[in-house]
Amino acid sequence: MPLLVLPFPAIDPVLFQIGPFALRWYALAYIVGIVLAWRYMRQLVLNDRLWGNSPRPTPLDLDDFVVWGTLGIILGGRLGYVLFYNPAYYLANPAEALAVWTGGMSFHGGFAGTVIAMILFAWRRNLSIWRLFDLAGTAAPIGLFFGRIANFINAELWGRPADVPWAFVFPGAGPEPRHPSQLYEAALEGIVLFIVIRILTHRYQMLQRPGFVAGAFAFGYGIARCIAELYRVPDAHIGYLSSFVTMGMILSLPMILTGAAVMIWSLRKASVTA
């Protein structure tokens, strides 16, 4: 064991409880992430410099979309976990499929659910779907950051055994010190990806090129997730699919390819219409 191994901070997953009602850090992370993402998107649509003459949703549109997006995140995230990560268990126990309070959410499922919610909302409001995709791409890293911090507090999704001085011994993960892979993901998928997209929107005005920011988010998330998966232990009931390959990597590959294709399409479309 390395001499500088860090003791895991014993934080109760339940923030506070009143009778049968309990507010967990994980639920609070979702609430804070969604609220901050909504406020950030409202701020962006009010900044005329970022859009030029390009049309965009109004703040009122975003206010109404919050409910749609929240349902897409929660339902898609839960169903994605059920289908991608543990279908056999939930086929045998179907009543537990929607029991989100027991844990188990998939980013890729939440991503798909949010995309569906955005398509339906844009169709209902007669909005440009690419503008809505771009706005979601600017704000998604905020929610990812808080979600990964909640994973760390819950001592779940821990990393592989490590001898680095910032390794933690996670409760329930055995005596070996491990990579805090949740914090790696919070940094890569949250902070780094947010900064990259912020540069694209504010320095290069990429919100004026429909689809580019959305593609950049999908591409960037896929890369960040694949890097983090090198340090994260996959779910025990799935394990490694092949040597170091995990389900998270497999599900991220379509995001990388699609994101790259959308960015190229956006740039080519902009050069044709220029």
Under 8 Å between Cβ of 181 and 232? yes
Q: Strand, helix or coil at 192?
A: helix
CA pair distance 261, 255, nearest whole angstrom: 10
pLDDT attached to residue 4: 61
Give every CB contact of residue 199 below 8 A, 6+ residues apart in sequence.
none
CA pair distance 269, 37, nearest whole angstrom: 28
Residue with the two structure tokens 């049968």: 20
Which of 229, 216, 249 has its CA nearest to residue 84?
249
Domain map of the chain by residue range? 22-273
How many residues does the structure list for the chain? 274
Residue with the two structure tokens 């080519």: 268
Q: Strand, helix or coil at 15?
A: strand
Under 8 Å between Cβ of 149 and 182? yes
Residue 225 assigned to a binding site = no
Angle, CA of 68, 72 and 77, to the nearest 5°:
160
CA pair distance 28, 38, nearest whole angstrom: 15
pLDDT attached to residue 273: 55
> H-type helices in 11-104, by residue range?
25-45, 48-51, 59-84, 87-92
Under 8 Å between Cβ of 256 and 217? no
pLDDT digit string (tens) for 78-109?
A: 888 888 777 877 887 777 776 665 567 788 88
What is the crossing angle of helices 59-84 and 25-45, to 10°?
140
pLDDT attached to residue 213: 98
CA pair distance 213, 242, nearest whole angstrom: 32
Q: Strand, helix or coil at 19?
A: coil
Residue with the two structure tokens 């959410």: 105
Which of 196, 162, 157 has its CA nearest to residue 179?
162
User: Which residues of the chain are under the pLDDT cut of 70?
Assistant: 1-4, 98-103, 236-237, 270-274
pLDDT digit string (tens) for 243-254?
A: 789 988 999 999
Tell me the Cα Rg of the chain: 20
pLDDT attached to residue 99: 67
What stretch of H or E contains 21?
strand 21-24
